């Protein structure tokens, strides 16, 4: 076979791949519609598309690319690329995409990998309109430079990239599976601890093992009055509890003296339990803080219970508690749910032993998760390194 011509030429995206101008044409029945949120960073289709008629299609459903076209999201800071194959031919796409129609001598898959590269994304962002939501115009997209080897070399590179990305995707899937298995092991052990209990355990309400138990307080209306905020008193919200890993170490808002006067300052070590928006999320305060009535505060009686035991216990019961909040306009549960619900409690010494075991297992779980996250980051970096090398100067 003749040697592959490895000389590269620099041209513009507009010359190599004219912008596709194919608009949505009238059709009968329903067709799938893909918004920018329906597409992943490397062409993954996320979830099932919306099925729409021509008459009732969304106003942004204005693109109907054909097989062989390649598209990317116009919006600055957004990496979403898509290859249009026969299965997607005739589907509707958002005008938030820019579609390219590769010319003769240009491999669509090579273009796909190029626009998936960080180099292209940086150039796209630099040329996009001002502001966070700035989008790339067709004229600006056409001027972005692209390096192209001969068609046979493009095809050779695409074959290498296909194999490389298939291997990386498999490694990523295995890594994610390992993370899921690690978490499942911890969750399984925690459930077993509370399910396989001895006869000496007692059913108690949370209030029975507390010195203070009740909803947070935020009396002032409107709640967003500026005078309430900007002081030195941490103000915890449901999102802060949800984002915590057992102990709440960060907050996004503070109360002023006026804010504190219409609220309540709960002490460090208080167990926070969300009852609205994010049901039954828990976290232990790492500092004194206020919070609204969408959070229950529980100051544990140290002679009867270990706060970390209660936190682990409620995490084990989360699915049951969340089920009790289903059906309302906005999923939520009230203080009465917790006032009336009983939970299993062994003696204090047994609680402390359970906490030590769960803490040990949780630390090991987090250590493994950290290893897997580092591996996932390395795989992402490998993807970009392969893309950059292959679409800039080729691969050997």
For residues 95 and 53, give the distance between their C-alpha atoms in angstroms, rounded to a whole number. Answer: 17
Is residue 17 located within the same domain as residue 141?
yes
pLDDT in the model for residue 291? 97
**Domain containing 155: what range?**
150-181+352-396
Among 345, 369, 384, identify where a domain stops.
345
Q: Would 192 be classed as within a structural domain?
A: no
Residue 31, domain CATH = 3.90.220.20
Residue tagged 């995206």 (tokens) = 13
Q: Which residues contact 230 (CB under 8 A, 6 or more apart)?
A: 254, 256
Contact 387, 117 (CB under 8 A): yes
pLDDT in the model for residue 131? 55
pLDDT in the model for residue 393? 53
pLDDT in tens, the chain (396 residues): 334 457 899 999 999 999 987 888 889 999 999 999 999 888 889 988 999 999 999 999 999 999 999 999 999 888 999 999 999 999 999 999 999 999 999 999 999 999 999 889 999 999 987 655 568 999 999 999 999 999 999 999 999 999 998 998 899 889 889 888 988 888 899 988 988 888 889 999 999 999 999 999 998 899 889 999 999 999 999 999 999 989 999 999 999 999 999 999 999 999 999 987 778 899 999 999 999 999 999 999 999 999 999 999 999 988 777 766 555 544 556 677 777 889 999 999 999 999 999 999 999 999 988 888 898 888 888 888 888 777 765 544
Of the candidates 380, 315, 383, which has an alpha carbon nearest to the alpha carbon of residue 354?
315
Number of folded domains that form the chain: 3
Is residue 95 located within the same domain as residue 224?
no
| Residue 108: φ, ψ to 5° | -55, -35
Q: Would 191 be classed as within a structural domain?
A: no
Is residue 104 located within the same domain as residue 234?
no
Contact 254, 290 (CB under 8 A): no
pLDDT in the model for residue 386? 83
Is residue 71 located within the same domain as residue 127?
yes
HEC string of the chain?
A: CCCCCCCCEEEEHHHHCCECCCECCCCCCCEEEECHHHECCCCCECCCCEEECCCCCCCCCCECCCCCCEEEECECCCCCEEECCCCCCCCEECCCEEEECCCCCCCHHHHHHHHCCHHHHHHHHHHCCCCCCCECCHHHHHCCEEEECCHHHHHHHHHHHHHHHHHHHHHHHHHHHHHHHHHHHHHHHHHHHHHCCCCCCEEEEHHHHEEEEEECCCCCCCCCCHHHEEEEEEECCHHHHHHCECEECCCCEEECHHHHHCCCCECCCCEEEECECCCCCEEEECCCEECCCCEEEEEECCCCCCHHHHHHHHHHCHHHHHHHCCCCCCCECCHHHHHHCEEEECCHHHHHHHHHHHHHHHHHHHHHHHHHHHHHHHHHHHHHHHHHHHHHCCCC
Of the candidates 117, 115, 75, which has an alpha carbon nearest to the alpha carbon of residue 94?
75
Q: Would 117 be classed as within a structural domain?
A: yes
Is residue 61 located within the same domain as residue 131?
yes
Q: Would 334 be classed as within a structural domain?
A: yes
Per the structure block, which two tokens stand in for 250? 């960060």
* pTM of the full structure: 0.67
Give the number of other Cβ atoms within 10 Å of residue 378's Cβ.
12
Is residue 330 located within the same domain as residue 246?
yes
User: What strand order describes the sheet that includes 247-248?
Assistant: 210-215, 295-300, 271-274, 282-285, 247-248
Contact 236, 331 (CB under 8 A): no
Is residue 341 located within the same domain as residue 206?
yes
Contact 390, 161 (CB under 8 A): yes
Q: Would 2 be classed as within a structural domain?
A: no
Is residue 206 located within the same domain as residue 165?
no
First to last CA, the chain: 17
Q: Would 187 be classed as within a structural domain?
A: no
């Amino acid at each position: 076979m003749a040697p592959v011509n490895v000389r590269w030429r620099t041209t513009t995206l507009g010359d190599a791949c004219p912008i596709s101008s194919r608009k949505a044409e009238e059709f009968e029945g329903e067709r799938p519609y893909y918004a920018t949120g329906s597409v992943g960073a490397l062409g993954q289709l996320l979830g099932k598309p919306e099925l729409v008629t021509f008459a009732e299609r969304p106003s942004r459903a204005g693109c109907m690319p054909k097989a062989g076209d390649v598209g990317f999201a116009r919006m600055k800071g957004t990496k979403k690329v898509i290859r249009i194959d026969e299965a997607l031919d005739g589907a509707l796409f958002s005008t938030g995409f820019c579609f390219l129609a590769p010319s003769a001598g240009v491999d669509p898959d090579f273009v796909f990998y190029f626009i998936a590269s960080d180099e292209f994304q940086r150039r796209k962002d630099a040329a996009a309109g001002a502001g966070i939501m700035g989008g790339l115009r067709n004229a600006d997209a056409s001027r972005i430079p692209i390096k192209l080897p001969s068609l046979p070399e493009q095809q050779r590179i695409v074959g290498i990239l296909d194999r490389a990305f298939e291997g990386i995707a498999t490694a990523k899937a295995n890594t994610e599976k390992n993370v899921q298995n690690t978490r499942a092991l911890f969750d399984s052990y925690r459930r077993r601890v509370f399910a396989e209990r001895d006869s000496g355990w007692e059913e108690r309400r949370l209030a029975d093992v507390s010195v203070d138990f009740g909803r947070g307080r935020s009396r002032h209306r409107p709640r967003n009055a500026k005078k309430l905020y900007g002081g030195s008193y941490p103000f915890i919200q449901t999102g802060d509890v949800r984002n915590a890993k057992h102990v709440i170490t960060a907050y996004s808002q503070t109360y002023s003296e006026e804010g504190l006067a219409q609220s309540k300052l709960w002490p460090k070590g208080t167990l926070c339990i969300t009852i609205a928006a994010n049901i039954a999320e828990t976290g232990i305060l790492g500092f004194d803080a206020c919070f609204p009535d969408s959070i229950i505060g529980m100051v544990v009686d140290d002679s009867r219970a270990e706060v970390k035991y209660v936190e682990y216990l409620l995490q084990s019961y989360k699915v049951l508690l969340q089920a009790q909040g289903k059906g309302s306009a906005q999923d939520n549960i009230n203080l009465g749910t917790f006032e009336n619900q009983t939970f299993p409690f062994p003696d204090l010494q047994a609680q402390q032993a359970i906490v030590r075991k769960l803490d040990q297992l949780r630390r090991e779980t987090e250590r493994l998760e950290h290893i897997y996250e580092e591996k996932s980051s390395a795989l992402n970096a490998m993807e970009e390194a392969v893309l950059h090398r292959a679409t800039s100067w080729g691969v050997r």
